[in-house]
């Protein structure tokens, strides 16, 4: 488990990311870019901001688990917040070890578009973030 600090490159006044953090380029600093935040308990807890960064993150999932299958198992909405219980299954690229886990996602929508997705390892915590109960 890590300290909970996010690795995000700061934006300069010009709107460009600077430093050697996760984000780079002007698009990463635009406030209208979607973002994905992986679970705080993850060793690589970070924010992926912008479509390209999110695609790169997800590409890594499929490189690690070539037969990765992601299935929503529960969906509950409360206004612009949506709880999605998700099951991940697959086999590791290196040794073929089976993997199965459930992760809760909280999606925030604005104007009908997904603006933010935050992953939670704790289902109850995710439900509370949406303003829902068990």
The C-alpha atoms of residue 75 and residue 61 are separated, in whole angstroms, by 22
- Name every residue whose Cβ is closer than 8 Å to that of residue 100 and which is 6 or more positions away in sequence: 87, 88, 89
pLDDT digits (tens, 9 = 90+) for 40-83: 998 888 999 999 999 999 999 999 999 999 999 999 999 999 99
- Of 88, 91, 58, residue with least CA distance to 72: 88
Which one has a higher pLDDT value, 28 or 121? 121
Report residue 1's pLDDT band, with 50, 70 and 90 as the boundaries. very low
The C-alpha atoms of residue 50 and residue 75 are separated, in whole angstroms, by 24
Structural domains of the chain, with CATH? 1-64 (no CATH), 66-134 (3.10.450.50)
Mean pLDDT of the chain: 82
Q: Is the pLDDT of residue 3 over 60?
A: no
Percent of the chain with pLDDT over 90: 66
């Amino acid at each position: 488990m890590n300290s909970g600090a996010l690795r995000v490159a700061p934006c300069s006044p010009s709107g460009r990311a600077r430093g050697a953090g996760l984000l780079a380029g002007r698009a990463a600093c635009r406030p209208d870019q979607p973002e994905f935040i992986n679970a705080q308990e993850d060793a690589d807890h970070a924010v992926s901001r912008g479509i390209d960064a999110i695609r790169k993150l997800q590409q890594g999932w499929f490189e690690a688990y070539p037969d990765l299958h992601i299935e929503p198992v529960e969906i509950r909405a409360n206004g612009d917040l949506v709880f999605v219980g998700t099951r991940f299954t697959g086999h590791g690229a290196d040794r073929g070890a089976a993997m199965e886990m459930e992760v809760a996602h909280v999606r925030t929508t604005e104007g009908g578009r997904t603006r933010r997705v935050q992953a939670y390892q704790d289902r109850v915590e995710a439900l509370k973030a949406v303003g829902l109960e068990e």
